[in-house]
Structure 1
Amino acid sequence: MNNNILYITNPKLSFTWLENKKRQWLISSINMNSNLTKDTLSEFFISILFECTKPLDKNNILNNFMNLKISRVECEAILEELIKYNILIEKDSKTELSSWIRNYTLSYSDYSKDDVSSQDKQKMIKYNNECNYPEITKLHTGEKYKLKHPSMYKLPKMKKIQDIMNCNSILNSTVISKDLLSGFLFYLFGSQRVGTFHDFMPVLCKSYPSNGARHILDLYICLKDLSWIDDGMYYYNPIEHTLILISDQSIKKKGITLIVTVNYERMQWRYRHSWVYRDVLFELGHFIQHLKFICFGYGISFTEESDDFPGDILSLQDLKEEIAIIVGLGR
């Protein structure tokens, strides 16, 4: 990412207007570790919202806020933190409030018009010229373990659809074989094909739906005490159908643990509004039901886990990614 960031990469970061005696503007943050302090920033924010209707020089902003009983040193520290978290953006040596936050309007495409596709394409080209299109998978470079494609061997037969829908499958707390895990991952999360949108935007097609084919979820797998692979934390590459070792740190939990993370930027790059957090939840819900369907189909037991895997082990980017769910398999 370059310094001219034109959108907020996390839809959960927004401003909230509190109708109380102090009438404050606050930062609302859901399950997010942020150093932004709401008490200190309240008056500062409401001033920015009114003053920054056009690009302003840093010094002009600081000078305008000296009457808020905040020292210049404190203002400079707050300003730098706002810039750090992309709440304020720097553009042509100016500092302004991101228009994505300031404008509380939800853009949409009118598909009754014949030129809606060409208009959307031009908008995406503009976005891409301003800020590069996000990668559709994580670019980890560790040791790779190639998994077999399910067409190369015979998988156990899945249960009947009616039994799965009625949850009549028997779930086994047994060791999952290499071949079964390979097929499980492919049908759960693997790319069925890679398409191209508007002639330049690569998109994944998976076996569960995603709004705009954004596919914002990534899958990490913690493996321990399996005979066919070294212990460690792996990233599952859905295009290559490979496991990529990203950490061999000591893992406590035995067997197979799935860690599903959310990459907000893939959604925000295209839609650029906090409203898409709803679509984040929809996609996560689709994935969870898809996971349960496959587990019931193959008779694999699963449990929701609450282990705290540090973000630095997973190489997650602050505010752009976070852990959504953790699931243990075969126990």
Structure 2
Amino acid sequence: MIEAAMIWNEPNNKSHWDPEIDPDWSCFANMAKLAADAIQDVNPRLTRVLGGISPIDPGFLDLMKTYGVLDHVDAVAAHGFPLDWNLWQIHEWPQKIEELRSVTDLPIWISEVGVSTFGAEEVQLWGLKRTAELLKGRVDRIQWYSLYDLPRAWPATTRHREAEGSSYYRHFYMGLLREDGAPKLALEEFARHTPEIGLVQWFHFEDPRLDDAVRWMKRLGVTYLRTGLSWADRFRPGALAWFDRQMQALEDFDVTVTFCFTPEHRGLAPHHTSAPTVPEEFAAFCAEMTERYAPRAPSVGARHQSPVSVRPAMRSMSFPTQPRE
């Protein structure tokens, strides 16, 4: 069910990794290497991708190279939103790609790129056309963020929320579909670029949009999808049942799964951006999810089993017990 495993999301962005706890990113580097090795131990053929960096900073990639992280992954990724959050302009995309290539020979994925309709839907339509012109043929993977607008009743995953002003509210308008599922102007244009351009859609725990999203993606011709499985959600009651439902619904797509988000009770600070107290526990989560949804292919002649049917035979993974409220 999984074609690639992404290790964390935007590790150089304080909305996803706390630099006050880990100012030199040495904790992150150690955790990433443990996770990459754990994934490889389960399935050596699964592509391992370093979590997409945002902002695009070749210096951060060079730091990860110094720590040896790039020796443990098969690709690197970057996120860019020049019409919404970045301090560079959209026509600079080729330059940004070359800056990354100056640091590494690994394949480069643009695992999130998008344009909000905060100001007008016409801006997203123009931005999608221009992004396709600038990125197609230059990188190994392009994934548009996202299919749906974020419902206004849900919080955006960002550090300072409403204190960010309009920057925060742009998070709610990144979809090709409005919150109610109505198409935006850019939807038809997006379909002209599939399957070469894929999608990013984060599904919240027990997300009611899952089945409709699958129908829309098939209708749009999407074959590549990036989503996430949250380490923090692993401790919720019914977590595995939800993970199974999500992954089975997405089985017709080539899925990149992002493993991220520290459970509050397993972090050095009680926050999803915190470095974990025991980084091996994150690696164990990555291994468990890989074994559940991307197990090593059976040997020739072996009886085929689906990922769900092999679960009773999986090796036992150790997780701390979540404290009671």
After TM superposition, the score normalised by the length of structure 1 is 0.27
Q: Which has the larger radius of gyration?
A: 1
Q: Which has more strand, going by share of residues? A: 1
After TM superposition, the score normalised by the length of structure 2 is 0.27
